[in-house]
């Protein structure tokens, strides 16, 4: 290798291959239906303009809406949740014209030079549902097989190990998200430990997919969008002086002492965005 000295470069990392951490074995393709993703809404509080989504397509958004395990078919949220906030998703791209995004999804950059900017794996678009007014900007760093390199990418994980053993989850500036299931268990595939900042639903999660459809998947990649959506909701309501201030509010809102098993879940927090939390 040839040594190159550039003042603007702080450090150099060896180029490596990475793959999107989702579990494809439990996929169920569902044809697009207006009743599946866009359930009926009912205004329940005109002062703050809350709406309730009935028969939600995924139990995950209902679970983070309640403190206890109960009816996992309803999701109540402010109608303008996420309005004015722009979320950047580093993944496999996005299908801009998917009807559920309602024109709010855009591709900003494509670092996979041998593919077009579209989402050919679906992994980058399986993110919709929590903060429905958020603008989504795709930065494509993974190809149709979910592969990318450190020259394009930085990425709690699906290794089933202590997250502190992996980067970037071990970085104190990273808010790492692990997965939980519909029984408030930490599934075997999810990373765990003190470096996991929070857990969120990550099994049998149905969300937007390519070709105007929906797909059900497992993985921490399904858990993370729940927390990102809550963050977008919070940012649409107030200004945070630093990411760590936002992290603190996310932790303060979360539900403690509900996850199992205890050897993995000691001190663990479950994401929460019920109407009484905001």
Residues identified as active-site: 91, 120, 221
Alpha-carbon span 69 to 50, nearest angstrom: 22
CA–CA gap between residue 211 and residue 221 (Å, rounded): 20
Phi, then psi, of 193 in degrees rounded to 5: 105, 180
As to burial, measured by CB atoms within 10 angstroms (0-12 exposed, 13-18 middle, 19+ buried), residue 203 is buried
Identify how many contiguous H helices and E strands the chain contains and give both numbers. Answer: 5, 15
User: Residue with structure tokens 């909701």?
Assistant: 233
Taking the C-alpha atoms of 80, 84, 135 and 76 in order, what is their torsion angle to the nearest 10 degrees? -20
| Number of residues that this document lists for the chain | 278
77: left (phi over 0), alpha (psi -120 to 50) or beta: beta
Cis? peptide before 57, omega within 30° of 0: no
Q: Using CB atoms within 10 Å of the CB of residue 130, give its burial: 0 to 12 exposed, 13 to 18 middle, 19+ buried.
A: buried
* DSSP reduced 3-state for 87: strand
Hey, what are 111's tokens? Answer: 């670092």
Distances, alpha carbon 31 to alpha carbons 5, 35, 38, in Å? 53, 11, 13
**3-state SS assignment for residue 228:** helix
């Amino acid at each position: 290798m040839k040594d190159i000295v550039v003042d603007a470069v702080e450090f150099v990392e060896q180029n490596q291959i990475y793959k999107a951490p989702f579990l494809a074995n439990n996929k169920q393709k569902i044809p697009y239906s207006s009743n599946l993703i866009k359930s009926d809404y009912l205004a329940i509080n005109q002062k703050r303009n809350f709406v309730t989504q009935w028969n939600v397509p995924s139990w995950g958004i209902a679970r983070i809406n309640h403190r206890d395990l109960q009816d996992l078919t309803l999701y109540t949220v402010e109608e303008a949740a996420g309005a004015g906030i722009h979320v950047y998703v580093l993944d496999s791209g996005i299908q801009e014209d998917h009807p559920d995004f309602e024109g709010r999804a855009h591709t900003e950059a494509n670092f996979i030079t041998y593919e077009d900017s579209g989402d050919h794996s679906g992994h980058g678009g399986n993110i919709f549902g929590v903060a429905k007014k958020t603008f989504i900007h795709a930065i494509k760093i993974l190809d149709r097989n979910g592969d990318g390199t450190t020259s394009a990418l930085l990425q709690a994980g699906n290794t089933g190990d202590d997250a502190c053993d992996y980067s970037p989850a071990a970085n104190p500036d990273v808010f790492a998200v692990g997965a939980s299931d519909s029984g408030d268990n930490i599934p075997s595939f999810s990373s765990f430990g003190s470096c996991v900042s929070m857990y969120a639903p990550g099994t049998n999660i149905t969300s937007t997919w390519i070709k105007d459809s929906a797909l059900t998947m497992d993985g921490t990649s399904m858990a993370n969008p729940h927390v990102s959506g809550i963050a977008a909701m919070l940012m649409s309501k107030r200004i945070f002086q630093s990411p760590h201030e936002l992290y603190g509010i996310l932790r303060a809102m979360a539900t403690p002492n509900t996850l199992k098993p205890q050897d993995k879940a000691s001190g663990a927090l479950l994401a929460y965005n019920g109407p009484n939390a905001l």
